[in-house]
Structure 1
Amino acid sequence: MSAPRESVREVATPQGPARAHVCRPARAAGTIVLGHGAGGGLGALDLAVAREVLVDRGWAVVVVEQPWLVAGRKVAGRPATLDEAWVPVVRALLTGRGPLPRPLVVGGRSAGARVACRTAAELEADAGLLLSFPLHPPGRPDRLRADELALAPDPSWVVQGTNDSFGTPAELAAYLPAGATLLEVPGAHSFPRGSRAALVEALGQVAGMLPA
């Protein structure tokens, strides 16, 4: 089997240029587009493991670098600006030169998962993959983002750390929308290296349930 092709595509957006880091097997089963968190970190463990496991299962996986990070800023923009950048990138991947195939799975970690939920209907996503979904800010369970979680595509999978200060699996379980499956992984909001094996197992389970 030939090695997956890796490339970086720059895409113009209303918020400035974004970068799409693409890893595409020769005969991709579909496309999974993931966004990073508000702290940047394209190399976050859950994103890295998702890319590794899902590419190995035959999916094209793209990690989108938001314009604020491309520009070297340290703080993410407002939610609306993240959505404005995300939508044209995903559309360009599916319709531009050398388009990536459907079905389309949208997701990401933390803030990236929120963006994916808010824009899933607009992009006609077929499924969602939410890593470390931030149900509320740490210590502020009164500031719920359950309305965003409710927008997740059906089906969706939520991979959550057992000690996530932004929302434990038990907290998330109370707000899971129809068609969402929750997978618990030992760890906090940012998974430590010791969580790698459990993440590989969880994302392997997800890979076996993705839409054909």
Structure 2
Amino acid sequence: MREVHTPTGPAQVQIDEPEGNIRAVLAIGHGAGGGVDAPDILAVRTAALAAGVRVVRITQPYRVAGRRTPAPAGQLDTAWLAVLENLAAETGTVPLIVGGRSSGARVACRTAAAAGAVGVVALAFPVHPPGRPEKSRLPEIDAVEVPVFVVSGERDPFGVTPEAPGREVLVLPGAVHDLRKGVNTIGAALVGWLARHGWAA
């Protein structure tokens, strides 16, 4: 684990290397009050490593500082992009995929173009606040112009992301926002998506 300076304070970065040649880099962020050891993030890490993808788990500065309440969206995006820029020197020309769970998925979607990402992995993308379907966040994921892989829980109170052109959605039966129910099915689906786009060994 190492610290990376950002305009909003130090972020933490954990890098896991695959065996053999690196086919892509997946940078993944956490949910609003959680960390990068959430079960769905770990499932993605394990599967991506086996497919030849370097996995970079990024902890936002507010969480490093011990706060559970997320920073404003603009600060989250700024810190995220600062970390990705710091990593770019060692990534070289390897394709970059960005992702996250919940709040982190929103950050990845909002910054995908600025980061030069070739794809997005969105775990439990929060379509709307619970009980507030009129406050849709779908424009954030609809705006992504590269392939997107989404995992949604069938019973997630934050909503289920709909299928769309360029967007593959895995719905876990009976799962809620934490995606624990059916988490063991995420890896194979992710690797299939990576392989279809040439990002898997």
Same fold (TM over 0.5): yes
Describe the shift of the 1:20–1:101 C-alpha distance in structure 2 as closer, same or farther (beyond 3 A).
farther
1:69 CA drift (Å): 0.5
1:136-182 Cα shifts (integer Å, max 9, x gaps): 001110100011111224211111111111112xxx22xx5531111
Of residues 98, 101, 106 in structure 2, which corresponds to 1:106? 98
Task: Write the distance in 1 (CA, Å) between the matches of 2:41 and 2:93.
Answer: 20
**Residue deviations 1:89-114, cap 9 Å, x none?**
0111111xx43652110111000010
Q: 2:178 aligns with which of 187, 190, 199?
A: 190
For structure 1, list consecutive stretches of 5 or more residues without a partner in the other structure: 1-7
Q: Is the 8 A contact 2:25 2:91 kept in 1?
A: no
Partner of 2:56: 62
> Could you state the TM-score of these two structures normalised by the residue count of structure 2?
0.92
Q: Show the counterpart of 1:29.
A: 23
Return the alpha-carbon distance in structure 1 between the equivalents of residues 145 and 51 of structure 2. Answer: 21
Give the match for residue 163 of structure 1. Answer: 155
One-letter amino acid matched to 1:106:
V
Q: Which residue of structure 1 lines up, in the alignment, with residue 190 of structure 2?
A: 203
The amino acid across from 2:172 in the alignment is: V
- Matched pairs, number: 197
Greater Cα offset, 179-188 or 53-62: 179-188
After the TM superposition, which residues 1-212 of structure 1 pair with which residues of structure 2 at under 5 Å, given as runs?
8-25=1-18, 26-95=20-89, 98-99=90-91, 101-168=93-160, 172-173=161-162, 176-186=163-173, 187-192=175-180, 194-212=181-199
Asked if structure 2 preserves the Cα contact closer than 8 Å seen for 1:127 and 1:156, the reply is yes
In 2, the alpha carbon distance for the partners of 1:100 and 1:38 equals 30
- RMSD after superposition: 1.6
Structure 2 alignment gaps of length 5 or more: none
TM-score normalised by structure 1 residue count: 0.87
Q: Is the 8 A contact 1:31 1:101 kept in 2?
A: no
Supply the distance in 2 between the matched residues of 1:32 and 1:167 (Cα, whole angstroms): 25
Residue 112 to residue 51, structure 1, CA distance change in 2 (3 Å)? same
Distance 1:204 1:39 in 2: 27
CA contact (8 A) 1:114 1:133 kept: yes
Q: Shift in Å at residue 9 of structure 1?
A: 2.6
Comparing 178-187 and 54-63, the one that deviates more: 178-187
